[in-house]
Chain A
Amino acid sequence: MKISIVNGRVLTPFERSAPTDDQHGIRSDLHIADGRVIAIGDQVPGSSSVLPDGWVPDRVIDARGMIITPGLVDLAARLREPGFEYRATLESEMQAALVGGVTALVCPPDTDPPLDEPGLVEMLKHRARGLAGAHLYPLGALTVALQGTVITEMAELAEAGCVGFSQANVAIADSQVLLRALQYAKTFGFQVWLQPQDPCLARGGIVHAGPLASRMGLPGIPVIAETVALQTMLELVRVTQARVHFCRLSSAAGVALVRAAKLEGLPVTCDVSVHHLHVTDQDIGWFDANHRVDPPFRSQRDRDAIRAGLGDGTVDAICSDHTPVDDDAKALPYGEAEPGTTGLELLLPLVLKWATETRTPLARAIATITTGPAAIVGMDRMAGTGAGRLELGSVADLMIFDPDALWTVDRNSLVSQGRHSPFLGYEVAGRVMTTFVAGQPIFERV
């Protein structure tokens, strides 16, 4: 289908250098044909406005007041299939992804059964392809059944489509097993995704160990649970030179360790959950179970350090950490409630909120959820995806959003079956109007 998007502002994400373009993108038309971007208005550097003679679009979309960016790349979205269909299904969550402007997502392996066999991965990918939505990039389990004793057939899993290997949030207690797993992954050049949390120091903990935990009488998870695990993992990286991506940093000390490791030249990257950019332990209110997540929301100082880490490039990407939880599992006392919050539909507005509050240029902010995560997954090498880019010839995985549209986060407005969030009842700015996958407008807000 030939599509022209006119009157909008095209925003190209950038990583480090100062913007040369307008804060809100450059007024420009954009044209799509055969699933690719074939022309962008000539104000955008490196573009061309050359359209074939007699080119007539099948559809013209008026994007006045809107911003056009690459489709979002989400490094962590739990789709709950296979096995947890009572919480959410592939259909509902893939739809939530599109509503959130996400065109590529990475899902962790903690399904039921966990993704430790190629057959399961193939089935999942097949299911997802049938739904014609975002591109799905599964992470394979690092150990069989995530049990932390036997490593999986990583090569087989990679062939089935896994882009990396992970334990989700199930720590490996035996450091020798972790060492072997990293060595094995390094053999094939595979990337290992690890959430740093020492299971013994975190044992029994529910909230960030600080004055608030003391006041509320809730067992705490100290920051050292994250840093001790990080130190161990970094030592193993030094020894094995395996590529490791650290998932969901939560503390100032954790960010500092990764900063030092990168300076040292270790092959590590890291992400943070978009919620941790905003929420702190104080926001628990009167034991609101919607506030319960893993890793926990920490202090204001930790939140500020995460923001600073994004500012100086220590933190490479922001993800939604989308974790749908059913109502019954949240209608419980805080300590019994299941951790998790919905995220796919909040990724964009919460990134915009962070950008506004920190005066981060919009193009830089968008990079944290497009080119940044795409680089971590190595999407540039993968065919058939826009890889978080918006340039001539790239696959047209795009989204159009209205930066000024205000909406209230509540059970009616959320599409995901996960209807729990610390932001319930809040009004946020930024709403996706259209999401394109391979040049098709798969989602359009009426």
Chain B
Amino acid sequence: MIRRHPQIDGQGRLRHLLSIDGLPKAMIERVLDTASAFLDVSDRTVKKLPLLRGRSVFNLFFENSTRTRTTFEIAAQRLSADVFNLNISASSASKGESLLDTIDNLAAMNADLFVVRHAQSGAPFLIAQHLDHLGKDVHVINAGDGRHEHPTQALLDAYTIRHFKKNFTGLRIALVGDILHSRVARSNIHALTTLGVPDVRAVGPATLLPGGLESMGVRVFHDMREGLRDVDVVIMLRLQNERMRGALLPSAQEYFKHYGLTPEKLAYAAPDAIVMHPGPMNRGVEIDSAVADGPQAVILSQVTFGIAVRMAVLGIIAA
């Protein structure tokens, strides 16, 4: 039975990027180090490197996202790849073509790399294993699968933390919000624990925290002030509109009162704590404008680093 993670080939090289779960620490560090080198490309006169020249990168977004798709597009173009965007909404999929048929068709167009976002957890694994089984030399990058993982987001978050805090050992990091539905949270938990962060915390109401967090190495808090006490990094998660009413949460107002990041609550964290958010932000729901626009927020840096990190991932995998 398959024991080796499908993202790592027989020679130990990173062939796909499907999940941070199962990504060795050395590999994570390599991505971060490589991203440092890519960071200045955006400042050059010639904002392009020839690494992926002639390669075809297909953005397969089965779930809409302008933001992530755009950053992958920029990253791929900075490496001189040819980028093709396919927005496959639910309706065109329902016209009958199965996921794997779509993949087979695109692979037949000599794609080199698929960047996949899908509403179903595990979809990129299915795609990668299907392509490997067919002997196709196509690499798959998971740009977000259901609730499962969003590996490049966690990598850029780790890069951001390393940039501002230098070392992971000794850090206290809190993830706040809808962990239950968050692929960003899961990927971050794996990345931070792998990198040796000793204190990773999840803060939220019981309805939004999945069971089994402790077994992933996370301390659970329902009281946000306690959860933020002395932390060095606060990662705020987006609360989706659908969750705000109904059986999970009564209202955005009550949520903001107890779990929204305000200057008053942020004061419980370390004085030099940084505030992060994967975006897009819901101001007044999970984060107060005063904090989002304040000196401790590094949200825009995350965006800049995101391009360099994605260039690093593309560069390492596409070889």
Contacts and interface: CB of A to CB of B under 8 A. Distances in A.
A273 B186 CA distance: 33
B99 interface: yes
A36 B74 CA distance: 78
B80 interface: no
B186 A217 contact: yes
Contacts of B121: 216-218, 287, 333-335
A228 interface: no
A65 interface: no
Give the interface centre of A214, A217, A289, A425 by most chain B CB atoms within 10 Å: A217
Contact of B211 (A209, A286, A333, A335): A209
B250 interface: no
Given A287-B126, A333-B99, A335-B122, A217 B147 contact: yes
Give the interface centre of B6, B120, B129, B215 by most chain A CB atoms within 10 Å: B120
B109 interface: no
Contacts of A57: none
A333 B213 CA distance: 24
B123 interface: yes
A429 interface: no
Give the interface centre of B130, B147, B216 by most chain A CB atoms within 10 Å: B147
A336 interface: yes
B125 A286 contact: yes
B26 interface: no
Interface string A204-222: 0000011111111110100
Interface string B122-147: 11011001100000000000000111
Contacts of B21: 215
Contacts of B148: 216-218
Interface string A313-334: 0000000000000001001111
A52 interface: no
A285 interface: yes
Contacts of B5: 286
B186 A335 contact: no
B99 A217 contact: no
B212 A287 contact: no
B210 A332 contact: no
A328 B96 CA distance: 12
B211 A214 contact: yes
Contact of B212 (A214, A285, A336): A214
B289 to A, nearest CB: 31
Contact of A217 (B100, B146, B211, B215): B146
B120 A334 contact: yes
A218 B121 CA distance: 7
A211 B216 contact: yes
B2 interface: yes
B197 to A, nearest CB: 18
B142 to A, nearest CB: 12
A11 B253 CA distance: 70
B118 interface: yes
Contact of B100 (A220, A286, A331): A331
B91 interface: no
Contact of B216 (A214, A287, A332): A214
A220 B210 CA distance: 10
A216 B210 contact: no
A335 B146 contact: yes
B212 A212 contact: yes
Interface string B162-196: 00000000000000000000010010000000000
A164 to B, nearest CB: 36
A210 B118 contact: no
Nearest to A333: B120
B66 interface: no
A208 to B, nearest CB: 11
Contacts of B2: 285-286
B98 A328 contact: yes
Contacts of B123: 333
Give the interface centre of A209, A212, A287, A331 by most chain B CB atoms within 10 Å: A287
B149 A217 contact: yes
A190 to B, nearest CB: 38
A211 B211 contact: yes
B215 A287 contact: no
B108 interface: no
B211 A332 contact: no
A193 B301 CA distance: 60
Give the interface centre of A210, A220, A285, A286 by most chain B CB atoms within 10 Å: A286
Contact of A287 (B1, B122, B186, B210): B122
Interface in B43-59: none
A342 B145 CA distance: 29
A225 B99 CA distance: 31
Contacts of B145: 217
Contact of A210 (B122, B130, B147, B212): B212
Contacts of A217: 121, 145-149, 183, 186
Contacts of A333: 99, 118, 120-123, 126
Contacts of B118: 333
Interface of A: 209-218, 220, 285-287, 289, 328, 331-336, 425-426
20 contacts: A211-B215, A213-B210, A215-B21, A217-B145, A217-B146, A217-B186, A218-B122, A285-B2, A286-B5, A286-B125, A286-B129, A289-B126, A328-B98, A331-B100, A331-B126, A332-B98, A333-B118, A333-B122, A333-B126, A334-B122
Interface of B: 1-2, 5-6, 21, 98-100, 118, 120-123, 125-126, 129-130, 145-149, 183, 186, 210-213, 215-216
Given A215-B186, A218-B148, 10 more contacts: A211-B211, A211-B216, A214-B210, A216-B122, A218-B121, A218-B146, A286-B5, A287-B121, A331-B98, A332-B126
